């Protein structure tokens, strides 16, 4: 820096403090000027800042203090780019997807759950929403709904794929993934939770489902085919069974139907253009099995002008709500329709259906000895117990058990007569216990019409022993037993009769009397009596 002129004074007159301050000010001015020059060069300024020398004039003898300069801690990149338009060449970003929030696999929002929402409806119109993973099968969903609804667990519970606009529905197979089935459904479609006793009934009674005149290899063989051989031919992929017979086919775009001779094979459904000929040149394919499903038509014969009531259709999996793509078919009777639809399922899924059928049996056999088996009310009532001591005792002797039952019956009659004397309602009064206790049972459906009872029986599978009880429409004091036998629905009237002031119920004009409907049902579950078969499967309407 410029030397500072100090006038000679006496040692006593020299202001040492002022001298030190002037020297410090000079050094700070030089340091500040050099810092400004370096910073300006970094920012790219073309001009250079030259430190200002102090004037030698008497008016500016003192050095000026440099002012502090504010330096930004964060530089504005946009301003620097304007200051350096060509300082660095533009380099393309080799990973543009990592800089975008929408396309980045790392920065994009991560889905925390892979579960899907599925809504299932019951027969009474109530719905339940469940959250399931993508790999959850239909059987697992049914088990979940059984657990949530506190239902009796059995293998008959099913999910039904219901299309109200198309007027069709089908029972979803136990091994199918519910999420995939839901993805192929339209907006108006929904899942129903109901029982289907006929889901695997053909494994138990195959001859009832496949008449010999409809199965090709049964006609070609000399003797009758045993049931095991019949099922083996259907489940074995190497064998080639064939279902044949007449079906009514609806012509595309028209309401007219045409009767054709059809052949159902593993490769698809064919019809013959010349009578019943099987020659390849006379066969035309109507539908394949791989990308299609078989549905039951529930809209009735009038809507499609069908020749019979036994309609079904084949729906391609890719079609959602287009009725024109459906292959509408109609059989002559219920047995023929069941045969065609069952064979379609067997040809498409094969051994997978048999494996799904065996799962409940394997699960029951693997139950630990500490797990209580699932029993119905009637089975629990078959065990005779003696509670006269401190602990209960099972009565093994049948004579002792019979005498105990008679004694209990006399005690019950005395108790009921004593209640009548004390002013309880008369047994003939509708509010008495014997006339209302059946309303707690799953097989009783109250005042439903005959048509509605028919519909429920058809929906839950027309197997032998399927039954329900309902109030009689013609007699207000009577009830009706609706029973399915040989795929036909029959009705039996239960009439009340009075004896010694007590009301009993009977199916055979008083020959066999019961104190209430629960006793009547339990008896005919063990004995056929006047009925064509025993009561086996209650027609149940569960409330979710």
What CATH number did the domain enclosing 160 receive? 3.10.20.90
Task: Kindly state whether residue 453 falls inside one of the protein's structural domains.
Answer: yes
- Helices and strands of the chain, counted as H and E runs: 16, 20
Backbone angles phi, psi at 9, to 5 degrees: -130, 175
One domain, residues 133 and 220: no
Task: Kindly state whether residue 368 falls inside one of the protein's structural domains.
Answer: no
One domain, residues 207 and 350: yes
Please say whether the beta carbons of 478 and 430 come within 8 A: no
The residue behind tokens 């019943």 is 276
How long is the chain? 544
Which residues have C-beta within 8 Å of that of residue 224, sequence separation ≥ 6?
212, 218
One domain, residues 188 and 267: no
Full residue range of the structural domain in which residue 506 is found: 432-538
DSSP conformational letter for 282: G
Confidence (pLDDT) at 339: 92
One domain, residues 172 and 219: no
One domain, residues 171 and 320: no
What CATH number should be reported for the domain holding residue 458? 3.30.505.10
One domain, residues 308 and 401: no
One domain, residues 306 and 442: no
What CATH number should be reported for the domain holding residue 232? 2.30.29.30
One domain, residues 295 and 162: no
Per-residue pLDDT of the chain (544 residues; tens, 9 = 90+): 555 454 444 444 445 566 556 666 655 554 444 444 444 444 444 444 444 444 444 444 455 555 666 555 444 544 444 545 544 556 666 665 555 544 444 444 444 457 899 999 987 788 889 999 999 999 999 999 988 888 777 788 999 999 998 999 999 999 999 999 999 898 889 999 999 998 998 888 887 788 888 887 655 555 566 766 777 777 776 677 889 999 999 988 788 999 999 999 988 999 999 988 989 899 999 998 888 999 999 988 888 889 999 999 999 988 777 778 899 999 999 889 999 999 999 999 988 998 999 887 666 555 444 343 333 344 344 556 666 665 667 776 777 776 776 676 556 555 545 444 444 444 444 445 666 777 778 899 988 999 999 988 988 888 899 999 999 988 888 999 999 998 889 999 999 888 877 888 999 888 888 988 999 999 999 998 899 999 999 998 776 6
Task: Kindly state whether residue 88 falls inside one of the protein's structural domains.
Answer: no
Q: Is the dihedral of CA 207, 212, 213, 217 positive or negative?
A: positive
Q: Examine the fold and report which residue of 174, 195, 216 is the final residue of a domain before the chain moves on.
A: 195
Task: Kindly state whether residue 170 falls inside one of the protein's structural domains.
Answer: yes
One domain, residues 209 and 288: yes
Q: Examine the fold and report which residue of 403, 424, 445 is the final residue of a domain before the chain moves on.
A: 424
Please say whether the beta carbons of 319 and 189 come within 8 A: no
**Rounded distance between C-alpha atoms, residue 62 and residue 8, angstroms:** 17
Give whole-number Cα distances, 64 to 24, 25, 57, 59, in Å: 11, 7, 13, 12
Give Cα 27 distance to the centre of its chain.
86
Confidence (pLDDT) at 322: 75
One domain, residues 228 and 349: yes
Confidence (pLDDT) at 68: 62
Angle at 97 between CA 93 and CA 101, to 5 degrees: 120
The residue behind tokens 């053909």 is 202
Confidence (pLDDT) at 253: 78
Task: Kindly state whether residue 516 falls inside one of the protein's structural domains.
Answer: yes
Helix axes 227-235 and 334-349, enclosed angle (nearest 10): 50
Confidence (pLDDT) at 50: 46
Q: What domain count does the chain have? A: 5
Task: Kindly state whether residue 374 falls inside one of the protein's structural domains.
Answer: no
Q: Strands, E, within 11-112: which ranges?
A: none
Q: Examine the fold and report which residue of 362, 390, 409 is the final residue of a domain before the chain moves on.
A: 362
One domain, residues 209 and 348: yes
Pairing of strands 466-471, 537-538: parallel
3-class DSSP assignment, residue 517: helix
Task: Kindly state whether residue 102 falls inside one of the protein's structural domains.
Answer: no
One domain, residues 394 and 449: no
Residue 196 CB-half CA count within 13 A:
20
Task: Kindly state whether residue 390 falls inside one of the protein's structural domains.
Answer: yes
């Amino acid at each position: 820096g410029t030397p500072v002129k100090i006038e000679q004074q006496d040692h006593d007159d020299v202001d040492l403090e002022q001298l030190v301050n002037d020297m410090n000010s000079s050094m700070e001015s030089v340091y500040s000027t050099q810092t400004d020059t370096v910073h300006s060069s970094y920012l790219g300024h073309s001009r250079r800042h030259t430190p200002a020398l102090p004037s030698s004039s008497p008016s500016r003898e003192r050095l000026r203090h440099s002012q502090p300069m504010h330096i930004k801690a964060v530089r504005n990149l946009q301003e620097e780019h304007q200051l350096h338009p060509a300082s660095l060449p533009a380099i393309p970003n080799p990973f543009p997807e990592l800089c975008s929030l929408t396309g980045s696999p790392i920065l994009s929002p991560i889905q925390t759950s892979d579960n899907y929402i599925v809504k299932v409806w019951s027969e009474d119109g109530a719905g339940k929403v469940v959250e399931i993973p993508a790999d959850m099968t239909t059987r697992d969903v049914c088990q979940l709904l059984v657990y949530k609804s506190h239902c009796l667990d059995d293998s008959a519970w099913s999910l039904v794929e219901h299309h109200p606009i198309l007027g069709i529905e089908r029972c979803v197979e136990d091994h199918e993934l519910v999420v995939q089935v839901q993805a192929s459904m339209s907006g108006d479609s929904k899942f129903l939770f109901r029982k289907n006793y006929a889901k695997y009934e053909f494994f138990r009674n195959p001859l009832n489902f496949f008449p010999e005149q409809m199965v090709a290899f049964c006609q070609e063989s000399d003797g009758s085919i045993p049931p095991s051989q019949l099922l083996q031919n259907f489940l074995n992929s190497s064998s080639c069974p064939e279902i044949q017979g007449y079906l009514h086919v609806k012509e595309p775009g028209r309401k007219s139907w045409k009767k054709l001779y059809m052949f159902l094979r593993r490769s698809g459904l064919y019809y013959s253009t010349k009578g019943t000929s099987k020659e390849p040149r006379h066969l035309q394919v109507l539908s394949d099995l791989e990308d299609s499903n078989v549905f039951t038509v529930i809209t009735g014969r009038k809507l499609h002008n069908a020749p019979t009531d036994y309609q079904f259709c084949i729906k391609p999996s890719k079609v959602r709500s287009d009725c024109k793509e459906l292959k509408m078919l109609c059989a002559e009777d219920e047995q023929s329709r069941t045969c065609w639809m069952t064979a379609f399922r067997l040809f498409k899924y094969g051994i997978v259906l048999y494996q799904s059928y065996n799962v409940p049996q394997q699960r029951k056999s693997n139950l630990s000895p500490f797990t209580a088996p699932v029993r119905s009310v009637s089975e629990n009532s078959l065990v005779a117990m003696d509670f006269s001591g401190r602990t209960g005792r099972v009565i093994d002797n049948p004579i002792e058990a019979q005498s105990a039952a008679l004694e209990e019956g006399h005690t019950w009659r005395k108790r009921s007569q004593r209640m009548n004397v004390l002013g309880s309602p008369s047994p003939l009064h509708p509010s008495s216990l014997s006339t209302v206790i059946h309303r707690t049972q799953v097989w009783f459906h109250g005042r439903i019409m005959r048509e509605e009872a028919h519909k429920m029986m058809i929906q839950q599978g027309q197997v032998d022993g399927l039954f329900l009880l309902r109030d009689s429409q013609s007699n207000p004091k009577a009830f009706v037993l609706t029973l399915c036998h040989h795929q036909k629905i029959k009705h039996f009237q239960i009439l009340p009769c009075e004896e010694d002031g007590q009301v009993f119920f009977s199916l055979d004009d008083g020959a066999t009397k019961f104190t209430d409907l629960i006793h009547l049902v339990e008896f005919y579950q063990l004995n056929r009596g006047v009925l064509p078969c025993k009561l086996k499967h209650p027609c149940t309407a569960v409330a979710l």
